[in-house]
A = this chain, B = another copy of it.
Amino acid sequence: MDAQIDGLKYDSNGLIPAIVQDDKTSQVLVMFWMNREALAKTIQTGKVHSYSRSRKRLAMKGESSGHVQNVKSIYTDCDKDVVLIKAEQIGAACHEGYYSCFFRQFQPDPAATDWKIIGEKKFDPEHVYKK
């Protein structure tokens, strides 16, 4: 297990980008960063863990919301510097309440000043994170 994790290329901060994709629909849910420990924990527990660069700590996805991601399979790319995880999403992936974090679409209209919201809210963040 370690030989595979150790074979990955982490950046100068010891981090590697990770993409999580819905195992059934293949919808891309979120991209975040992992360190070696986050990936090891993800493999050991079968729940996706990430490393927060702003909070400088390891966290299980869904730790406070209950919206965990159950790992189905894990991949890496040709350069071994990106991780792709197929997972079952409980609840929704985005802390803003959307199923996927990629809920904003670019508008080709040159007059458009902002991205168009195309996702549908699955929960109210105020309600989930307030307590």
Contact = CB atoms under 8 A, between A and B. Distances in A.
Q: Tell me what chain A mostly uses at the interface: helix, strand, loop, or mixed.
A: loop
Interface string A4-32: 10010000000001010100011110110
A73 to B, nearest CB: 6
A6 B47 CA distance: 35
B3 A112 contact: yes
Contact of A3 (B4, B94, B114): B114
Interface in A21-62: 21, 25-28, 30-31, 43
Interface of A: 1, 3-4, 7, 17, 19, 21, 25-28, 30-31, 43, 73-80, 82, 84, 94-96, 98, 101-108, 110, 112-115, 118
